[in-house]
């Protein structure tokens, strides 16, 4: 039985006071964290402070792959570890598109994160054009295989995979049950063929893309869905709490 995972991806939202308040409210609420791993991914400038507050674990939205050095603006995996940050997102479509991250860069980031013992939410997902051309399964499989190139099974145990169709992120559009189950099944089979059957059964695969308090319980009940990565609906206490309760 895989433990559920829900990530709150705050992206570049919330001012300092708002972030502290929302984090404190979430941490103080009655959310039952023994049934699920619930992780908040705030802006990196708030990480250090939030990681010292009691309650939920925090994760970074990005990292750079070098261990240290002259990389202005970069944050290393070792620095994240040094402030007790436990998780990091790698390969989010907004990083791939807006910040021009290639599969090669994503692979280096993933390796740096797992080798420094961070847990990674490794994101994948296709654009609408790719889905319409019916190449989505092949495209996502390739994204995964490029991303986890040279990683071994032990390192992969530190990964959670987030399937986030780009056309569903922040748009209010959801992938259908059939579309989600087809992709999550494909991802699980790809893990089995690249690593092992046992890893494919234990690795968590979560869905992201306009997941909210109204559709979360349906989405979380689909085959092969082990939780969600939530953007917009994680920015307000009530909606995020409802999503967690829908587990």
Binding footprint of ligand PGA on the chain (CB under 6 A): 9, 164, 169-170, 208-211, 229-233
CB of 163 to ligand PGA, least distance (A): 11
In whole angstroms, how large is the CA radius of gyration of the chain?
A: 17
Return the number of the residue (10 or 195) whose C-beta is nearest ligand PGA.
10
**Angle of CA points 119, 39, 182, to nearest 5°:** 75
Q: What CA–CA distances, in Å, run from 124 to 45, 50, 138, 166?
A: 25, 27, 12, 9
Q: Residue 197 catalytic?
A: no
Cβ neighbours for 197, distance < 8 A, ≥ 6 positions apart: none
In angstroms, rounded to a whole number, what is the distance separating the alpha carbons of residues 161 and 151?
14
Single out the catalytic residue among 136, 164, 184, 236: 164
In angstroms, rounded to a whole number, what is the distance separating the alpha carbons of residues 73 and 160?
26
Q: Residue 132 catalytic?
A: no
CB of 166 to ligand PGA, least distance (A): 9
Return the number of the residue (41 or 195) whose C-beta is nearest ligand PGA.
41
In angstroms, rounded to a whole number, what is the distance separating the alpha carbons of residues 8 and 171?
17
Return the number of the residue (76 or 230) whose C-beta is nearest ligand PGA.
230
CB of 30 to ligand PGA, least distance (A): 23
Residue nearest ligand PGA, Cβ-based:
231
CB of 206 to ligand PGA, least distance (A): 10
- Which residues are annotated as catalytic? 92, 164
């Amino acid at each position: 039985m895989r433990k559920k995972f829900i990530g709150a991806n705050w992206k570049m939202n919330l001012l300092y006071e708002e972030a502290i308040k929302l984090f404190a409210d979430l941490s103080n609420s009655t959310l039952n964290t023994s049934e699920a791993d619930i992780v908040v991914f705030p802006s990196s400038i708030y990480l250090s402070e939030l990681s010292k507050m009691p309650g939920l674990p925090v994760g970074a939205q990005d990292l750079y792959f070098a261990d240290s050095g002259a990389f202005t603006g970069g944050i290393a995996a070792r620095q994240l570890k040094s402030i007790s940050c436990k998780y990091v997102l790698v390969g989010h479509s907004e990083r791939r598109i807006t910040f021009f991250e290639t599969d090669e860069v994503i692979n280096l980031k993933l390796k740096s994160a797992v080798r420094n013992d961070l847990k990674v939410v490794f994101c994948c997902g296709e654009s609408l054009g790719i889905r319409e051309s019916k190449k989505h399964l092949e495209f996502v499989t390739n994204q995964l295989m490029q991303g986890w190139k040279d990683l071994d099974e032990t390192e992969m145990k530190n990964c959670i995979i987030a399937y986030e169709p780009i056309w569903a992120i922040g748009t209010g559009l959801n992938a259908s049950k059939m579309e989600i189950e087809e992709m999550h099944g494909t991802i699980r089979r790809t893990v089995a063929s690249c690593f092992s059957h046992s890893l494919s059964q234990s690795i968590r695969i979560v869905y992201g893309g306009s997941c909210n308090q109204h559709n979360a319980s349906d989405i979380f009940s689909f085959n092969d869905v082990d939780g969600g990565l939530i953007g917009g609906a994680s920015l307000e206490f009530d909606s995020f709490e409802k999503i967690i309760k829908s587990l």
